[in-house]
Amino acid sequence: MDWTALVLSIKLSLTTTLLLLPIGIVFGRWLAYKQFFGKALLQTFLALPLVLPPTVLGYYLLVAFSPNKGLGLWLLQTFGSTLIFNFKGLVLASIIFNLPFAIQPMQRAFAAIPRAIREAAACCGMGPLQVLWKIELPLAWPGIISALVISFAHTLGEFGIVLMVGGSIPGETQTIAIAIYDSVQTFDNPSAAIMSFSLLLFSLITISLTFWLSARYEQTHD
């Protein structure tokens, strides 16, 4: 069992999930309530990671962050480092890859709140932030939690994009999914089995939790 890889995976998943929380709420709410020009196009781009092979997305990120030109060169000149083969790059790649998994459930959860309820809150004297805090978030929370659980689990098991953007640097970019792959490559089957079983168990727990939250969500919106 490669504990360093497991800890790194959990750290990556937690960081990604925490950063996706405000992003998901802002975008999910915005897409749920606002009509604007180009909304369909934006939603298409946000949903792209659902169908795009992770390696393809990883390849484009690798090209974009390449220190030889463009964005990568600018990052290198401005901040002294680029975003490939390091943890920060992994976080950014994971956020991009998980955008639909975080935004779509939150968007559905916000959209399910009847407009009249939000308007009733305004008529009770609540400003937009109070409406968000006292009405929208409590009603949308099962959807939000479900989005976060899926994003966390998804990041924990992600392979292709992590390998493309981060490589396999132990302690820096080698996540548990890559560690399993490396174990199999070196015929260390017992380690691969333990790590795989751990991931399987974790996935089962998260999916069960998601289903349970979805059931509660539907109950709330009877």
Partner 1 sequence: MTEAAINIKLQQRQSIPLSVQLQCQAGELLALVGPSGSGKTTILRAIAGLYQADYGVIVCANEIWQNSPDKLFVPAHRRHVGLVFQNYALFPHMTVLDNVRQSLADVPKQQSKTTALMLLKQVHLQGLESRYPKTLSGGQQQRVAVARALSRQPKVLLLDEPFSAVDQVTRRKLYRELLTLRQSLAMPMLLVTHDLEESSLLADRMALLHKGEILQTGTPEFVAAHPNSATVARLMDQQNLFTALVLAHHEQTKKTYLRWQGIKLEAAFQPQFPVNERVCWMIQSSDILLHRRGRPSKGDRENPLQGRIIEYMESNGLANIRVQVNCALKIDISIHVPLHVARRNRLGLHEDIGISLLSNGIHLMPFQILRRDT
Ranges within 54-73 binding partner 1 (CB under 8 A): none
For residues 8 and 29, give the distance between their C-alpha atoms in angstroms, rounded to a whole number. Answer: 31
C-alpha distance across the termini of the chain, in Å: 46
- Burial class of residue 115 (count of CB atoms within 10 Å of its CB; 0-12, 13-18, 19+): exposed
- Residue 175 near residue 91 (C-beta atoms within 8 A): no
Q: Does 122 bind partner 1 (CB under 8 A)?
A: yes
For residues 201 and 105, give the distance between their C-alpha atoms in angstroms, rounded to a whole number. Answer: 23
For residues 87 and 93, give the distance between their C-alpha atoms in angstroms, rounded to a whole number. Answer: 10
Taking CB under 8 A as the binding criterion, the range among 56-64, 117-125, 164-172, 192-200 that sits at the site for partner 1 is 117-125
* 26, 50, 79, 138: which one binds partner 1 (CB under 8 A): 138
- Burial class of residue 151 (count of CB atoms within 10 Å of its CB; 0-12, 13-18, 19+): buried
Q: Does 185 bind partner 1 (CB under 8 A)?
A: no
* 111, 126, 184, 193: which one binds partner 1 (CB under 8 A): 126
Q: Does 215 bind partner 1 (CB under 8 A)?
A: no
* 18, 53, 77, 134: which one binds partner 1 (CB under 8 A): 134
Ranges within 27-46 binding partner 1 (CB under 8 A): none
* 1, 14, 50, 120: which one binds partner 1 (CB under 8 A): 120
Which residues lie near partner 1 (CB under 8 A)? 114, 116-117, 119-128, 130, 134-135, 138-139, 220-222
